[in-house]
Amino acid sequence: MPFCPNCRTEYVGDAARCADCGTDLAASLPEGAAAAVGLERMQPAELCQVDNQVQLDLIETQLRAAGIPTVRRPRVAALFVPASRLDEAQRVLSGEPPGPPADTVGLSELHRVRVVCAQCSKVISVDLLEGRLPVSCSCGHFFDFGEVGRIVDRLADIVREMADADFEVELELPREE
């Protein structure tokens, strides 16, 4: 069965060109191509079929603004997205605001810290929006934060400002290799 080397769509019959991107079809995908690209995650999944091209354009624009890649089949006015992003695309179409990417954290969310007492191992949670680092533990152990204490106090000031801002700054979390 022929495959599109660009879209990686499998065709039935004797089609010669991809209906989506116009690329000449190949007899098969190159060895290891599926593993290298993560074929299962990138396999197109049909998101919707609409009545006309105008609706298709509007939906595609909305999805691309949310960072979701799309492929269209204009003859049937259908729109496809990577299977791994189908749920996210459906939420965008339903009008839900897109959530932050899974590998980011909002700076205003970094307002809770945990202090673990070196003497009794008690965990003390502090919300930097409401308070400061504790001076001591209930067991009597005094915390010597030194320079770290001043850094955390400055972080608390920054977090308070970010919580009041009308925008969000997100930090990208390190990826596990």
d(CA 169, CA 62): 22
Mean pLDDT of the chain: 78
Distances in whole angstroms, Cα of residue 158 to Cα of each of 107, 131, 133: 9, 14, 15
Q: What's the pTM value of the predicted model, to 2 decimals? A: 0.37
Residues 41-78 have pLDDT tens digits of 567 788 888 888 888 888 888 888 877 888 877 677 78
Please indicate, yes or no, whether residues 88 and 118 belong to a single structural domain of this protein: no
Please indicate, yes or no, whether residues 114 and 151 belong to a single structural domain of this protein: yes
Please indicate, yes or no, whether residues 5 and 60 belong to a single structural domain of this protein: no
Please indicate, yes or no, whether residues 160 and 127 belong to a single structural domain of this protein: yes
- Supply the pLDDT for residue 37: 47
* DSSP-derived pairing of the beta strands 44-49 and 104-106: unpaired
Q: Which amino acid is at 42?
A: M
Does residue 54 sit within a domain?
Answer: yes
Does residue 145 sit within a domain?
Answer: yes
Per-residue pLDDT at 5 exceeds 90: no
Does residue 99 sit within a domain?
Answer: no
Domain that holds residue 47: 42-93
d(CA 49, CA 5): 24
Does residue 155 sit within a domain?
Answer: yes
Does residue 36 sit within a domain?
Answer: no
More confident residue, 130 or 32: 130
Per-residue pLDDT at 34 exceeds 50: no
Domain count, the chain: 3
Does residue 98 sit within a domain?
Answer: no
Q: What dihedral do alpha carbons 135, 131, 105, 169 form, nearest 10°?
A: -120
Which of 37-41, 65-69, 81-85, 142-146 is the most confident on average?
142-146
Please indicate, yes or no, whether residues 47 and 88 belong to a single structural domain of this protein: yes
**54: domain CATH number?**
3.30.70
138 Cβ contact list (under 8 Å, min separation 6): 122
